[in-house]
Amino acid sequence: MTHSLLELERVSKAFDGFQALDGASFSAAAGEIHALLGENGAGKSTLMNICCGLYTPDSGSLRLAGRETRLSGPREAAALGIGMVHQHFKLVRPFSILDNVLLSRLGSGDRIASAKGERLAMRAAIHEQAAALGGTLDPDARIDSLSIAEQQRVEVIKALIAGARILILDEPTAVLTDQEAEKLMLTLRRLASSGTTVVLVTHKLMDVKRFADRVTILRGGRTVGSIDPKGTALEELTRLTVGETLPTVRETQPVFGRRRLETLGLSVRRADGTKAVDAVSFHVRAGEIYAIAGVSGNGQSELTEVLMGLRRAGSGSVQFEDAGEAVTAADPARLRRYGVAFIPADRYRYALAGGLSVAENYGVGDVARGRYGSWLWLRRGRLRKNAEEALSSFDVQGVRALSQKAALLSGGNAQKLVIAREFSDPPSIIVAQSPSRGLDARATAAVHARLQASARNGAAVLLVSEDLDEAMKLAHRIGVMAGGKLVGEFTAPFDRQQIGGAMVGHA
Amino acid sequence: MRDDVSDATRRASPIDTAGNAVIAKAHAAGRQRRFGQISIEVRRSASFPLRLFALAAALVTGLGLSAFALILVGVPAESLADEFVSATILDPMNFKAVLVQAAPLILVGLAAAMAFRVRFWNLGIEGQMIFGGVGATLVSLLHLGPEWARLPLMGLAAVTCGALWASIPALLKLRLSVNEIISTLLLNYVAYYVLLHLLYGAWKDEDGFPHSPAYAASELLPNLDSGVSVSLVLAGGMTLLMTYLVARSRAGFYMRFVSANPGVARALGLPVANMVLFVVLVSGSLAALAGFVVSSGQEGRLTQSFFPGYGVSGVLIGFLARNNPVAAAVVALLMSVLVIAGQNLQVFYGIPPSMVQLIQAVVVMSVAASDFLVIHRVHWIRYRA
């Protein structure tokens, strides 16, 4: 057996008493695609942040090509051939691709004599690498003019130009459509066959099964095993990741009530005058889950923002049952009085103040409803007590104290906190956008169960999701958005081919 | 596949076909450094003792540097402690001066701290002070109300004028997105020239000097029996009121969300704009009270004594107190000690008046720099032989 290129042995790392890694081990050989699988909070990101020099381990060792190594920071890691593509790209958006590449090389000690010479060389290098990865990129294109998939490619190229022999990608497919993910995986396969080690941090079992040569599974900061995914059943992988089998929800035939939420010819214009949402009409009845499916960027975000009261509709109207009249623009405070709950895709932009405590984030909705005293006196004791109860009944884990900052929660637990707050007063309408994005299997199941339970209790649920599997699993009806228009409406049972066709047919 | 990589790429990314050789080479380079390395990583959260330690270390550093500077300009090292501690706090006369000076400093500190809590960078504290003084003087000149109600009326007029003046940049920001840093700063000049216009014009005293006629005895903030000025009681009361507002009222709860993340606050349906307006009015009122205290408690008339300094001091106090009202009062008291000690040093050792500002600046920069230690964790990595 050839010895491993990258090897981590019995690595531990604690953050303020929280043991993120507890003697985890990991080793990857040259030229393989190695998946690192685990639930949110299992320690995947911490382990990889140690590999790329962002964190220093409390104990344990890191070996590169058999040599014990200590990394002082990302720069040294890059010098040693370790490149990382973070989930949130480290790109300067108003800069061109070329400038971003040049920026990443500052201080690397690996520069070419003249600035002009370096620009020329890097321009050539970007072309070469893009071609080698199977595509083209204009080095002068600005980052904010690129799609998410293209930005990701820039990150990969940046790492390769820095000389990466080990490429770590954190949840690379989370932000991509099926087709884009497929393309990325082909690219990575090509890299691996040329000798690069690719480490794929993920919690998507299907990615592992389809693309990885080997998989290491983390659970609770420890390594559970390192196996060949091709020879392992999906159920076995699930069991290793989660530790127990997940309960499945059995669906009974629902009865729908009146129309709770309805849009009539709703149109929204972007800043440049083009229509992001174009005459969209649909309705959601009480007890019903209505999904809006579609490839991302086809107007779903704009539609959701209108429904959340954060954006004005250009024309058309939205009708909330409890409003009594059609409204074209409603502010978030009024929508909440109508009993609308929101589960936005971008939690730390629309739902949680990361710098504030878990208790404050939980209680803010009810404080506004006056449940914790008048304007003159805030009943903090009662708020804390209720927060504690809600955290346990909604199974929010990783809260060591109610005064802990919400930003320290893992994705799944942050989402559960949002749901605990939004559902503290049973909502009559729920608008959820990609509610399981970035969540592991168990948290996803919990979120889905909550949405289904709410619908059974008579709430109207609008689910805006880019994940067709999620939409098909939960929804009673699916509307497909493409190019800002609602191009098709389907009723359960669904035909995946038909819906998929509608999604791409009009794009 | 590697073979068709161009020359430029080869230079840029020195990958050879052997693969591991690059790593070995870089590794060898690292080992030549004999002393190890400093590694810096971002903390996920900082504990309270750590924050306290960082603050203490910053204060010691800042005061140490200031002491050094004072020694350089000729203050004997052995009398430094004497001048700062014994002469200001233990000497009854000077201690009284410290308390008199503290009242307006506490009020401007609170004004800054409150505004910062909704991310409104109020640099217009001096202008709001001026309008506080103008409001109070207006009541005095017009002899409004019965004599016993004159002082409360002056206070009320001061607060009203200050709040109205502060509402201009607030509304400009909320309605037209005008940056309040610019508008509040520039409105200070407008306020200053309004003051000059009054003092050289309609409100000029009969003695010909550019200040208003003296207030009547009933229009001066009195001293209590214990010798403590009512100004200080007023400042203390405002500190308690602000503490209640921040910690116990719903407005304080909303302020935390507006400050932590305005976008989230808006999406949650919190009245963000109204909160900002309300808090700016409160901030302007506090600054106006400071102006009232200077006019009625110190000068006895409307003068030009809203010298540039209160505004900056307020901002510094708010910053050092981390926008906490009680901490602002404490910091303001210390700032007052510094001001009085500085005046003494000027008299006895002839140091330039800007030394006081230098000390303020050094201390503030030390505290600001200590944030690095709170946010980051610094390791020393030693290579094993």
Q: Which residues of B touch A375 (CB under 8 A)?
A: 249-251
pLDDT value for A209: 84
Residues A236 and A258 in one domain: no
Are the CB atoms for B276 and B88 separated by under 8 Å? no
Q: In angstroms, what separates the C-alpha of B128 from chain A's closest C-alpha? A: 27
Mean per-residue pLDDT for A344-370?
88
Res B224 pLDDT > 90: no
Residues A195 and A259 in one domain: no
Res B20 pLDDT > 50: no
pLDDT value for A329: 61
Q: Do B23 and A80 touch (CB under 8 A)?
A: yes
Res A114 pLDDT > 60: yes
Q: Encoding tokens for residue A60? A: 């344990």
Q: Which residues of A touch B11 (CB under 8 A)?
A: 112, 121
pLDDT value for B182: 96
Helix (H) or strand (E) holding A186: helix A178-193
Q: Do A408 and B44 touch (CB under 8 A)?
A: yes
Burial class (CB in 10 A: 0-12, 13-18, 19+), B92: exposed
Helix (H) or strand (E) holding A207: helix A205-211
Q: Which residues of A touch B261 (CB under 8 A)?
A: 348, 353-355
Q: Does A365 touch chain B (CB under 8 A)?
A: yes
Q: Is residue A249 a part of any domain in this protein?
A: no
In chain B, pLDDT over 70 holds for what percent of residues? 87
Q: Encoding tokens for residue A234? A: 């999906």
Mean per-residue pLDDT for B69-83?
82
- A14-29 tens-digit pLDDT: 876 678 898 999 999 9
Q: Could you give the CA distance from residue A424 to residue A419 in angstroms, rounded to a whole number?
A: 8
pLDDT value for B150: 92
Q: Do B5 and A308 touch (CB under 8 A)?
A: no
Q: Is residue A44 a part of any domain in this protein?
A: yes
Q: Do A65 and B20 touch (CB under 8 A)?
A: yes
Q: Do A354 and B47 touch (CB under 8 A)?
A: no
Q: Does A329 touch chain B (CB under 8 A)?
A: no
Q: Is residue A158 a part of any domain in this protein?
A: yes
Res B86 pLDDT > 50: yes
pLDDT confidence tier of residue B278, bands split at 50, 70 and 90: very high
pLDDT confidence tier of residue A97, bands split at 50, 70 and 90: very high
pLDDT value for A342: 92
Query: Given the DSSP bridges, would you call strands A6-15 and A18-28 parallel, antiparallel or unpaired?
Result: antiparallel
| CB-CB neighbours of B243 under 10 Å | 18
Between positions 70 and 89 of A, the ones with CB within 8 A of B are: 70-73, 76, 79-81
Residues with Cβ < 8 Å from B39, sequence gap 6 or more? A56, A71, A72, A73, B378, B379, B380, B381
Q: Encoding tokens for residue A46? A: 């911490």
Identify which of A120, A194, A378 has the shortest CB distance to residue B1.
Answer: A194
pLDDT value for A98: 92
In chain B, pLDDT over 90 holds for what percent of residues? 47
In this structure, what are the phi and psi dihedrals at residue A170, rounded to the nearest 5 degrees?
-95, 110
**Termini Cα distance of chain A:** 49
Residues A91 and A119 in one domain: yes
Q: Describe the crossing of helices B325-349 and B354-375 by its angle, rounded to 10 degrees.
A: 140
Q: In angstroms, what separates the C-alpha of A355 from chain B's closest C-alpha? A: 6
Q: Please give the mean pLDDT across all residues of chain B.
A: 84
Residues A195 and A231 in one domain: yes
Residues A93 and A149 in one domain: yes
pLDDT value for B37: 65
Query: Which is higher by pLDDT, B37 or B222?
Result: B222
Mean per-residue pLDDT for A393-420?
84
pLDDT value for A214: 92
pLDDT value for B116: 95
In chain A, pLDDT over 70 holds for what percent of residues? 93
Q: Is residue A455 a part of any domain in this protein?
A: no
Res A115 pLDDT > 90: no
Domain boundary among A212, A242, A272: A242
pLDDT value for B44: 65
Q: In angstroms, what separates the C-alpha of B42 from chain A's closest C-alpha? A: 8
Q: Could you give the CA distance from residue B303 to residue B196 in angstroms, rounded to a whole number?
A: 9
Q: Do B13 and A162 touch (CB under 8 A)?
A: yes
pLDDT confidence tier of residue B43, bands split at 50, 70 and 90: confident
pLDDT value for A215: 93
Residues A196 and A309 in one domain: no
Q: Does A13 touch chain B (CB under 8 A)?
A: no
> What is the SS3 assignment for chain B?
CHHHCCHHHHHHCCCCCCCHHHHHHHHHHHHHCCCCEEEEEECCCCCHHHHHHHHHHHHHHHHHHHHHHHHHCCCCHHHHHHHHHHHHHHCHHHHHHHHHHHHHHHHHHHHHHHHHCCCCCCCCHHHHHHHHHHHHHHHHHHCCCCHHHHHHHHHHHHHHHHHHHHHHHHHHHHHHCCCHHHHHHHHHHHHHHHHHHHHHCCCCCCCCCCCCCCCCHHHCCCECCCCCEHHHHHHHHHHHHHHHHHHHCHHHHHHHHHHHCHHHHHHCCCCHHHHHHHHHHHHHHHHHHHHHHHHHHHHCCCCCCCCCCHHHHHHHHHHHCCCCHHHHHHHHHHHHHHHHHHHHHHHHHCCCCHHHHHHHHHHHHHHHHHHHHHHEEEEEECCCC
- A421-468 tens-digit pLDDT: 998 888 889 999 988 877 777 788 888 999 999 998 889 999 998 888
Q: Do A353 and B260 touch (CB under 8 A)?
A: yes
Residues A103 and A153 in one domain: yes
Q: What is the DSSP string of A328-385?
A: S---HHHHHHTTEEEE-SSHHHHT--TTSBHHHHHHHHHHHTTTT--SS---HHHHHH
Q: Does A419 touch chain B (CB under 8 A)?
A: no
Identify which of B19, B39, B248 has the shortest CB distance to residue A72.
Answer: B39
Q: In angstroms, what separates the C-alpha of B45 from chain A's closest C-alpha? A: 8
CA angle A451, A210, A188 (to 5 degrees): 110
Q: Please give the mean pLDDT across all residues of chain A.
A: 84
pLDDT value for B22: 41
pLDDT value for B11: 38
**What stretches of A369-492 show up as alpha helix (H) in DSSP?**
380-393, 411-422, 441-456, 468-474
pLDDT value for A410: 79
Name the residue in chain B with its Cα closest to that of A133: B1
Tell me if residue A421 falls in helix, strand or coil: helix
Q: Is residue A169 a part of any domain in this protein?
A: yes
Domain range holding A315?
254-339+462-507
Query: What's the Cα-to-Cα distance from B13 to each of A51, A69, A219, B4, B20, rounded to whole Å?
Result: 20, 21, 36, 14, 14
Residues with Cβ < 8 Å from A282, sequence gap 6 or more? A262, A263, A290, A292, A479, A486, A489
Q: Is residue A354 a part of any domain in this protein?
A: no
pLDDT value for A236: 82
Identify which of B6, B261, B267 has the shortest CB distance to residue A310.
Answer: B267
Q: How many domains does chain A have?
A: 2
Return the number of CB contacts < 8 Å for A and B: 167
Query: Which is higher by pLDDT, B136 or A171?
Result: B136
Identify which of A15, A73, A348 has the shortest CB distance to residue B39.
Answer: A73
Locate tokens 């804390």: which residue?
A384
Tell me how far the alpha carbon of residue B22 is from its chain's centroid: 53
Res B289 pLDDT > 50: yes
Are the CB atoms for A318 and A268 separated by under 8 Å? no
Q: In angstroms, what separates the C-alpha of A406 from chain B's closest C-alpha? A: 11
Q: Do A355 and B260 touch (CB under 8 A)?
A: yes
Name the residue in chain B with its Cα closest to that of A30: B19
Q: Encoding tokens for residue B207? A: 């003695």
Choose the weakest-confidence range: A87-91, A216-220, A496-500.
A496-500
Res B6 pLDDT > 50: no
Domain boundary among A178, A210, A242: A242
pLDDT value for A11: 92
Give the bridge partners for A67, in sequence order.
A64
Identify which of A81, A334, A368 has the shortest CB distance to residue B23.
Answer: A81
Q: Which residues of B touch A355 (CB under 8 A)?
A: 260-261
Residues A260 and A235 in one domain: no
Mean per-residue pLDDT for B314-341?
91
Name the residue in chain B with its Cα closest to that of A120: B8
Residues A170 and A118 in one domain: yes
Mean per-residue pLDDT for A269-279?
83
pLDDT value for A107: 65
pLDDT value for B28: 43
Q: Could you give the CA distance from residue A129 to residue A186 in angstroms, rounded to a whole number?
A: 15
Q: Do B19 and A336 touch (CB under 8 A)?
A: no
pLDDT confidence tier of residue B280, bands split at 50, 70 and 90: very high
Res B384 pLDDT > 70: no
| CB-CB neighbours of A124 under 10 Å | 16
Tell me if residue A321 falls in helix, strand or coil: helix
Mean per-residue pLDDT for A293-313?
85
- All domains of chain B, ordered by start, with CATH? 38-73+353-385 (no CATH), 99-351 (1.10.3470)
Q: Which residues of A touch B30 (CB under 8 A)?
A: 69, 76
Q: Is residue A399 a part of any domain in this protein?
A: no
- A119-137 tens-digit pLDDT: 888 899 999 888 888 778 8
Choose the weakest-confidence range: A230-239, B33-42, B112-121.
B33-42
> Is the ipTM value over 0.90, yes or no?
no
**What stretches of A110-177 show up as alpha helix (H) in DSSP?**
115-132, 148-161
pLDDT confidence tier of residue B83, bands split at 50, 70 and 90: confident
Give the bridge partners for B380, in sequence order.
B38
Q: Which residues of A touch B383 (CB under 8 A)?
A: 70
Domain boundary among A210, A242, A274: A242
Identify which of B24, B38, B44 has the shortest CB distance to residue A15.
Answer: B44
CATH number for the domain including A55? 3.40.50.300
Residues with Cβ < 8 Å from B244, sequence gap 6 or more? none
Q: What is the CA radius of gyration of chain A?
A: 24
Q: In angstroms, what separates the C-alpha of B32 from chain A's closest C-alpha? A: 13
Q: Is residue A378 a part of any domain in this protein?
A: no
- pTM beyond 0.80: the answer is no
Query: What's the Cα-to-Cα distance from B201 to each of A37, A322, B193, rounded to whole Å?
Result: 79, 62, 12
pLDDT value for A365: 86
Q: In angstroms, what separates the C-alpha of A342 from chain B's closest C-alpha? A: 9
Q: Phi-psi bin for A123: left (phi > 0), alpha (psi -120 to 50), beta?
A: alpha
Q: In angstroms, what separates the C-alpha of A172 from chain B's closest C-alpha? A: 23
Res B126 pLDDT > 90: yes
Residues A271 and A198 in one domain: no
Q: Could you give the CA distance from residue B251 to residue B270 in angstroms, rounded to a whole number?
A: 10
Residues with Cβ < 8 Å from A318, sequence gap 6 or more? A261, A262, A263, A264, A266, A306, A307, A326, A327, A328, A330
